[in-house]
């Protein structure tokens, strides 16, 4: 990466993390407090955050958007990347189906879902999306892509904290008991 690209990456990353904090901890939290669900604006801002994050990776690639670099020649590296990306995509789809589209989008929070994949993770969609990103990190590894992955962990923590506060206030003891049994990210039986 050139010096200009490195500077641009760090500046955009700091702005992005700040914007993500504002969206999740101010806008989304405000929607939950006032309307007990996401508003169309807060929902669109959440989508924007993850779309922007996905595209920040292009600052680390030697290709132009929307092309991805070629997969690595190392067969083991390629295999692990494909496994993480494929498994993450499949599990993400099942998690979405289990929760339902409206609930997945934060538009319907009428019931607390605690079965199926939600018996293993309180945030399976964010967890397995992280696996997909980990697959990209393995495939195209460089220091800046590692920082990009760490950015995802930071913005996810903003989202998780906001949702947990909302779910705790909405479902009270039922949600707190669920939190005692199921880890935020993933539990093994």
- Asked whether 127 and 92 are in contact (CB, 8 A), the reply is no
Which DSSP symbol is given to 59? G
- Locate the domains of the chain by residue range: 3-181
Give the pLDDT of the chain (189 residues) as one tens digit per residue.
677 878 888 899 999 999 999 999 999 999 999 998 889 999 899 999 999 999 888 888 778 888 888 888 999 999 999 999 999 999 888 877 777 666 555 555 677 888 888 888 888 889 999 999 999 999 999 888 999 999 999 999 999 999 999 999 999 999 999 999 998 886 554
Query: What interhelical angle do 75-99 and 124-139 show, nearest 10?
Result: 160
Give me the helix-helix angle, 124-139 and 143-171, nearest 10°.
Answer: 180
Helix axes 173-181, 143-171, angle to 10 degrees: 140
Residue 1, helix vs strand vs coil: coil
Q: Residue-wise over 29-63: b if at least 16 C-beta within 10 A, else e? A: bebbeeeebbbeebbebbeebbeebeebbebbbee
Position of tokens 């989304």?
Answer: 28
Contact present, 135 and 82 (Cβ < 8 Å)? yes
């Amino acid at each position: 990466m050139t010096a200009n690209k490195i500077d641009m990456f760090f500046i955009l990353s700091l702005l992005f993390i700040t914007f993500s904090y504002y969206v999740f901890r101010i806008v989304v939290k405000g929607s939950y407090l006032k309307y007990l669900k996401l508003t169309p604006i807060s929902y669109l801002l959440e989508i924007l955050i993850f779309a922007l994050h996905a595209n920040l990776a292009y600052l680390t690639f030697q290709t132009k958007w929307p092309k991805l670099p070629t997969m690595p020649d190392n067969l083991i590296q390629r295999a692990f990347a494909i496994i993480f990306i494929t498994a993450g995509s499949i599990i993400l789809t099942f998690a979405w189906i289990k929760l339902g589209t409206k609930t997945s989008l934060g538009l319907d929070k009428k019931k607390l879902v605690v079965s199926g994949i939600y018996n293993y993770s309180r945030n399976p969609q964010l967890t397995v999306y992280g696996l997909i990103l980990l697959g990209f990190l393995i495939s195209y590894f460089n220091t800046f892509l590692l920082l990009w992955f760490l950015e995802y962990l930071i913005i996810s923590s903003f989202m998780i904290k906001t949702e947990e506060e909302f779910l705790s206030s909405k479902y009270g003891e039922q949600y707190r008991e669920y939190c005692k049994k199921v880890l935020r990210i993933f539990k093994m039986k």
